[in-house]
Chain A
Amino acid sequence: MRRNRILGSACVVAIGAALAAPDARAYCLTGVRWPAQADVFYNGNGKVTTGQCISASQMDSAVTSGITPWSAIRYAGTTSKTANKRDGQNTVGWANLGGQTLGITNYLKYDRTRTVPCGGNLLANLYEADVRHTTAYRWTSGGGGGCPCAAGPAFYLNAVSAHEFGHVIGLCHTNTPSSLMYPSFGVCENKNKGSDENAGENATCW
């Protein structure tokens, strides 16, 4: 089905105001922002706990730890609601996403008719977004488990979660290999929110 892309289709990369500075780093904005701090709820049902590098509770912590670095969103507790349903609630949950997909972010509601000024940009207000992590791969976390663990190599759930929530707050990918929002991670490669993402978040007026 053709997606409704009223506001365009190009991924625009915004360069911070300190473009000329040697350490200037790129960030990328999807074109949306949260008009107010948004609550994000976690549904831990369906996660696979066997064969992981970390315990079930560590998996839960790793997922929610991806929310906390971002000022525009906050962890608000658990829910029984399902991700990728337009229900007025931002939900992160689990699903089998197949053989090649680790995580999906869905924008479910944003203002398609007007934009609001934010610094030098015009952004659309975002009202609902959901995240799903896959049950099909092995996870570890920076909070324990190591990598590779006894079970084998894994992906850092805290990093993937933080990356997905970077999209939730309005960031897309950069071409800075060390940044959280760079479109390539290695197995057992952990990343955290850094200066790129801070600048990007600031550019969404948060």
Chain B
Amino acid sequence: MRKLRIAQGAVVAVLAVTAAAASTVIGLSVEDQARLSQRVVVGHVVKQRGVEHPMLGIETEVTLQVTDVLKGDVRRGDRVVFHTRGGELDGEISEAVGEASFRNGQRALVFVESVEGRPYLLGLSMGAWDVQEDRSGNASFRRAVRDGLEVYGGDEVEMGPISLRDMRARVSWAERRPEFDHPLLRDAAIRGR
């Protein structure tokens, strides 16, 4: 479980506005995240733009150039588009707390789900992982949760690092065994409305 850094001492004089409040997600295993995801891919962020959904407000459309496919009907070199639940459009900003924040050129592992046919990053920033490479060029991933993210569940949320090889194996394993780890998700009636 992510622990907040508690400032030692008295009241902090200047408070930073964080990722703006926070939002609420369920803490899930990597395998359950893979089961919920339509696509799990590694790639470089090549484009971001603010869009306005008629019912869901300002969002960010993120385009990723895929370098590794762990799950989904996509190939290396393809571009994958997904949305995050906040953004900037025509000078107006909506900050969804706990949502991931990307920069162009950044390499990331993302879990992308389909919500009513529209691709979203799964579980706000719980669906985004930073990519690190060792001297040999071997990639590993650390969960890129943002301050303010709410983890709603009793289980420890694995933060990484997880190697590309292990992540690929775990996502593949989850595809072959579709039963969810989280008891709530085994209750089909509670989700997938």
Contacts and interface: CB of A to CB of B under 8 A. Distances in A.
B115 interface: yes
A103 B25 CA distance: 7
Nearest to B190: A138
A173 B4 contact: yes
Contact of A7 (B2, B16, B102, B192): B16
A53 B18 CA distance: 35
Contacts of A21: none
Bin chain B's interface residue count.
Answer: 35 or more
A1 B190 contact: no
Nearest to B8: A15
Nearest to B61: A1
Bin chain A's interface residue count.
Answer: 35 or more
Interface stretch (A34-42, A54-62, A68-76, A83-91): A83-91
A103 B49 CA distance: 24
Interface in B149-171: 149-154
B34 to A, nearest CB: 11
A135 to B, nearest CB: 6
A122 to B, nearest CB: 5
Contact of A120 (B7, B11, B116, B151): B11
B94 A108 contact: yes
A198 interface: no
Contact of B26 (A102, A107, A122): A102
A100 B122 contact: yes
B55 A95 contact: yes
Given A172-B21, A172-B148, A173-B22, A1 B49 contact: yes
B192 A1 contact: no
B23 A30 contact: no
Contacts, number: 277
Interface of B: 1-7, 9-28, 33, 36, 48-50, 55-58, 60, 62, 84-88, 92-99, 101-103, 113, 115-116, 120, 122-124, 126-127, 147-154, 183-185, 187, 189-193
B115 A173 contact: no
A163 B21 CA distance: 10
A103 B124 CA distance: 10
A184 B156 CA distance: 10
A86 B192 CA distance: 29
Interface string A119-159: 11111100001100001111000000000000111110000
Looking at B15, B21, B94, the one whose CB has the most chain A CB atoms below 10 A away is: B15
A161 B27 CA distance: 18
A-B pairs, top 10 by smallest CB distance, nearest first, are A8-B16, A167-B21, A84-B57, A100-B123, A107-B20, A11-B147, A31-B17, A31-B15, A99-B36, A103-B24
B177 to A, nearest CB: 17
Contact of A86 (B23, B92, B102, B153): B92
B4 A2 contact: no
Contact of A83 (B7, B57, B113): B57
B11 A119 contact: yes
Looking at A1, A98, A124, A172, the one whose CB has the most chain B CB atoms below 10 A away is: A1
Contact of B190 (A13, A107, A120, A154): A154
A55 B37 CA distance: 31
A78 interface: no
A98 B13 contact: no
Contacts of A48: 193
Given A1-B48, A172-B148, A174-B4, A12 B15 contact: yes
